[in-house]
């Protein structure tokens, strides 16, 4: 199990259609099965994979994704099927149809990554809210300070320094 590194799995998670997903080929690599074998098992159990668990990429999405990792993940030549991608729930469902110890261990590692990513997103949202509250509070305080300074200046005109004007005289 030493070859399953959380950092390696983390690099296999992409955001597509606003969801964190994993490619069928990456999952097959982790499970140490062929992609077509994984997809065959999925097709045999298709009722377990509704659209929010798994979907097929469009050609445009796949082109954008290929640009992210630099090159095609599959061999060249011939007509190529567009990859399937699995959401967190879809990956969890895979453990029910792939009955190997490796599949179980890989799924545990993947679930840990998704959980960690979710906690990072929550922390980021909390920090954004806190910064926004700080901005509101400080801008309110500065407004009060400047208003008080203006009223103080108006109340005591003798505090204004008598300065010579600089520039050309008319």
Q: DSSP letter string over 78-126?
A: S--PPPEEE-HHHHHHHHHH--SHHHHHHHHHHHHHHHHHHHHHHHHHH
Report the alpha-carbon distance of residue 65 to residue 17 in Å, rounded.
12
Structural domain boundaries of the chain?
Answer: 6-73+81-122, 125-156
Query: Does 6-73+81-122 carry CATH code 3.10.260?
Result: yes
Residue 40: the pLDDT is 94
Lowest pLDDT segment from 34-38, 50-54, 58-62, 91-95: 91-95
Torsion of CA 30, 32, 33, 34, to 10 degrees: 80
Model-level pTM greater than 0.85? no
Report the alpha-carbon distance of residue 18 to residue 150 in Å, rounded.
50
Q: For the chain, what's the residue count?
A: 170
């Amino acid at each position: 199990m030493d070859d399953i590194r959380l950092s390696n799995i983390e690099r296999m998670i992409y955001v597509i259609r606003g969801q964190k997903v994993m490619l069928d080929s990456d999952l097959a690599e982790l499970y140490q099965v062929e992609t077509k074998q994984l997809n065959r098992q999925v097709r045999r159990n298709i009722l377990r994979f509704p659209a929010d668990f798994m979907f097929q990429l469009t050609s445009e999405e796949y082109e954008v994704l290929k640009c992210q990792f630099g090159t095609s993940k599959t061999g060249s030549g011939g007509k190529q099927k567009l990859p399937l991608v699995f959401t967190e729930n879809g990956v969890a469902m895979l453990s029910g149809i792939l009955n190997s110890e490796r599949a179980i261990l890989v799924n545990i590692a993947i679930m840990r990554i998704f959980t960690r990513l979710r906690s990072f997103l929550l922390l980021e949202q909390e920090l954004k809210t806190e910064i926004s509250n700080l901005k509101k509070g400080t801008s309110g305080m500065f407004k009060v300070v400047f208003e008080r300074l203006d009223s103080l200046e108006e109340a005591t005109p003798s505090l204004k320094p008598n300065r010579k004007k600089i520039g050309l005289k008319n």
